[in-house]
Amino acid sequence: MNDFVHPISDEFKEIFFIKGAREGKYPYSHSLLIGDVLIDTGISSRLLRKLKRLYPINTVLLSHWHEDHTSGNRLLPRAKFLIHSKDKILIENVNRFNEFYGILNTPAEEESEWLMESLKLENTKIDKIIEDNEIIKVGNGFDIKVIHTPGHTAGHCAFFELNSKIAFLADIDLTNFVFYAGIDSNLMAFEESLDKLIQLDIKTAVTGHRGIIDGEESVREEINDYKTIIHKRDERILSYLSETNPKTIMDFKNQNLIYKYYSQFKEYEIIAEMIMIQKHFDKFIKNRLIKQRGKGYILS
């Protein structure tokens, strides 16, 4: 067995965890192979070339449009590609990525263009749209249920193999960082998606960047811990507000309320942080925790 291909279950021998380059850290991600169906293609070009020599890949399920999960699409020209309807437009029009990341005409756009070129990102023709609760039948008795889990992106999906109870959660990645910084992201939908996953009897979870979590109870605990990260951000942001002194979103710039520190992608991370803070504000307004006063907001 190659060092990046790992069987997950002694009982279900045609389900493999495919470990991405750099341990699945961005700009790469992990994948799951079920029979001849590969979920996501961001393991790296080098590893994907090796994988397709070892195993037939006839169908690719894309969890969402982000480049670290789709950069290998071009290497599987004969495969059929499936994705949720709400993410289809971006897979077929990768030149719109910067628009949906909210970085058009900003200093971060140059960083992004360099990265996209290095990943050799190309448009991918989608052969079929998938929808929530759809069952995708794979050979040898595997049945993959589509779980629409919006929030990270509008069309983000998890995939649950019904017989083995193995789920691929993609970028509900159960790491210590939760990301909802796209124009099509939605924080409240993200939390609803987490609640949806908790209801499933997942025995083994595979995530796009962390890897494998075993045990139904462990999976639920990890999802609850992931929710806690969001709740702590709520508290941190609300603590900067008062009942008398209105603050605008721009008052939160460079405060590291979400990113503990900025990396070499600082220009982008500052924009992403501001977008995520705005999504917390949207949630606070809906829940009547804050109200507008002048051009800013105060606690209700």
SS3 33: strand
Position 101 scores a pLDDT of: 97
**Domains within the chain, CATH numbers bracketed:** 5-230 (3.60.15.10), 240-299 (no CATH)
22-77 pLDDT, tens digit per residue, is 999 999 999 999 999 999 999 999 999 999 999 999 999 999 999 999 999 999 99
SS3 276: helix
SS3 177: coil
Q: Is 246 exposed, middle or buried (0-12, 13-18, 19+ CB in 10 A)?
A: middle
Q: Is a pLDDT exceeding 60 seen at residue 1?
A: no
Q: What average pLDDT does the structure give for the chain?
A: 96
SS3 209: coil
Q: Is a pLDDT exceeding 90 seen at residue 162?
A: yes
Position 140 scores a pLDDT of: 84
